[in-house]
Amino acid sequence: MRVVGDILWWALWVYFCIIIARVIIGWLPIRWPRSLRPLVVLIYDITEPLLSPLRRWVPVIPVSAGVALDLSPLIVMVIIGFLQWLVREIFG
Protein backbone atom coordinates (compact mmCIF):
# COMPACT_ATOMS: atom_id res chain seq x y z
CA MET A 1 0.00 0.00 0.00
CA ARG A 2 2.91 2.36 0.64
CA VAL A 3 3.84 2.23 -3.06
CA VAL A 4 0.36 3.47 -3.97
CA GLY A 5 0.75 6.32 -1.50
CA ASP A 6 4.14 7.22 -2.93
CA ILE A 7 2.78 7.25 -6.48
CA LEU A 8 -0.15 9.46 -5.45
CA TRP A 9 2.14 11.81 -3.53
CA TRP A 10 4.53 12.19 -6.47
CA ALA A 11 1.67 12.67 -8.94
CA LEU A 12 0.38 15.50 -6.77
CA TRP A 13 3.91 16.95 -6.56
CA VAL A 14 4.26 16.92 -10.36
CA TYR A 15 0.91 18.69 -10.72
CA PHE A 16 2.03 21.23 -8.11
CA CYS A 17 5.16 21.93 -10.16
CA ILE A 18 3.11 22.26 -13.34
CA ILE A 19 0.92 24.86 -11.63
CA ILE A 20 4.03 26.78 -10.56
CA ALA A 21 5.23 26.67 -14.18
CA ARG A 22 1.84 27.99 -15.29
CA VAL A 23 2.09 30.90 -12.85
CA ILE A 24 5.59 31.77 -14.04
CA ILE A 25 4.51 31.55 -17.69
CA GLY A 26 1.66 33.93 -16.90
CA TRP A 27 4.07 36.45 -15.40
CA LEU A 28 6.28 36.53 -18.48
CA PRO A 29 4.71 38.75 -21.13
CA ILE A 30 6.76 37.34 -24.00
CA ARG A 31 6.02 35.69 -27.30
CA TRP A 32 7.15 32.09 -26.86
CA PRO A 33 9.45 30.62 -29.51
CA ARG A 34 7.81 28.16 -31.85
CA SER A 35 9.73 25.26 -30.27
CA LEU A 36 8.34 26.01 -26.78
CA ARG A 37 4.72 26.78 -27.71
CA PRO A 38 3.57 23.13 -27.58
CA LEU A 39 4.95 22.86 -24.03
CA VAL A 40 3.20 26.08 -22.97
CA VAL A 41 -0.07 24.88 -24.51
CA LEU A 42 0.31 21.50 -22.76
CA ILE A 43 0.83 23.21 -19.40
CA TYR A 44 -2.28 25.33 -19.95
CA ASP A 45 -4.30 22.29 -21.08
CA ILE A 46 -3.28 20.30 -17.99
CA THR A 47 -4.00 23.06 -15.46
CA GLU A 48 -7.06 24.77 -16.93
CA PRO A 49 -9.60 22.06 -15.94
CA LEU A 50 -8.94 22.80 -12.25
CA LEU A 51 -8.28 26.52 -12.46
CA SER A 52 -11.21 27.67 -14.60
CA PRO A 53 -13.98 26.37 -12.28
CA LEU A 54 -12.28 28.11 -9.36
CA ARG A 55 -12.24 31.40 -11.23
CA ARG A 56 -16.03 31.33 -11.25
CA TRP A 57 -16.01 31.27 -7.44
CA VAL A 58 -12.91 33.31 -6.62
CA PRO A 59 -12.85 36.73 -8.26
CA VAL A 60 -9.69 38.05 -9.85
CA ILE A 61 -8.34 40.95 -7.76
CA PRO A 62 -7.48 44.09 -9.75
CA VAL A 63 -4.09 45.46 -8.74
CA SER A 64 -3.59 48.34 -11.16
CA ALA A 65 -4.51 49.30 -14.70
CA GLY A 66 -4.34 46.14 -16.79
CA VAL A 67 -2.92 44.03 -13.94
CA ALA A 68 -4.91 41.56 -11.87
CA LEU A 69 -4.13 38.89 -9.29
CA ASP A 70 -5.57 35.44 -9.92
CA LEU A 71 -5.77 33.48 -6.67
CA SER A 72 -6.99 30.21 -8.20
CA PRO A 73 -3.48 28.70 -8.59
CA LEU A 74 -2.74 29.47 -4.94
CA ILE A 75 -5.96 27.76 -3.85
CA VAL A 76 -5.17 24.67 -5.94
CA MET A 77 -1.64 24.55 -4.50
CA VAL A 78 -3.03 24.68 -0.94
CA ILE A 79 -5.47 21.87 -1.80
CA ILE A 80 -2.64 19.82 -3.29
CA GLY A 81 -0.58 20.36 -0.13
CA PHE A 82 -3.50 19.14 1.97
CA LEU A 83 -3.99 16.11 -0.29
CA GLN A 84 -0.28 15.26 -0.04
CA TRP A 85 -0.51 15.41 3.73
CA LEU A 86 -3.65 13.23 3.63
CA VAL A 87 -1.94 10.67 1.39
CA ARG A 88 0.98 10.46 3.82
CA GLU A 89 -1.40 10.01 6.74
CA ILE A 90 -3.41 7.28 5.02
CA PHE A 91 -0.63 5.39 3.25
CA GLY A 92 2.33 6.43 5.40
38-57 pLDDT tens trace: 999 999 999 999 999 999 99
Which of helix, strand or coil describes residue 30? Answer: coil
Q: CA distances (Å), 23 to each of 6, 58, 88, in order?
A: 26, 16, 26
Ordered by start, the domain boundaries in the chain are: 2-91
- Using a 10 angstrom Cβ sphere, with 0-12 exposed, 13-18 middle and 19 or more buried, the burial of residue 50 is middle
Q: What is the pTM of this model?
A: 0.88
Query: Mean pLDDT for the chain?
Result: 93
Task: Give, as one character, the DSSP assignment of residue 50.
Answer: H
Residue 92 has pLDDT above 80, yes or no: no
Rounded (10°) angle between helices 37-57 and 72-91: 90
Q: What was the pLDDT predicted at 52?
A: 93
